[in-house]
Amino acid sequence: MILRMLRGKGMSRSLSAGKRLAYVTIPKATTAARIAEVIDAIQLRTRAAGRSTPLPVHVLIETHGAVDASALRSPGQFDHA
């Protein structure tokens, strides 16, 4: 889905601002191969937009069950033992 967005006109316009962006965030990353593919596409677009240095990329790793549901409620959410 992210690669389809990168190929779409809206994202093309967004990444055409590549010289001015501080960074981009990739949400819901699931595999290293997919992350590499998306980063390559981002860097290709920003280079085409005139950026001379690689655009920093923040990756949000998608995990399942990493935090117990009881830790997501308040009180308790910010209590650390």
Any idea where the domains of the chain sit in the sequence? 2-63
Confidence of residue 5 (pLDDT cuts 50, 70, 90): low
Secondary structure of residue 18 in the 3-state scheme: coil
Q: Specify the pTM.
A: 0.62
What percent of the chain stands above pLDDT 90? Answer: 28
Average pLDDT value over all residues in the chain? 78
CA distance 39 to 54: 10
Confidence of residue 66 (pLDDT cuts 50, 70, 90): low
- Which string of b and e fits 62-72 if b means at least 16 CB within 10 Å? eeeeeeeeeee
Kindly state the helix (H) or strand (E) to which residue 30 belongs, with its residue range: none
| pLDDT the model gives residue 74 | 73
DSSP state of 56: P
Backbone angles phi, psi at 59, to 5 degrees: -115, 125
Backbone angles phi, psi at 21, to 5 degrees: -70, 140
Confidence of residue 37 (pLDDT cuts 50, 70, 90): very high
* Greater model confidence, 16 or 39: 39
* Alpha carbon 34 to chain centroid, angstroms: 11
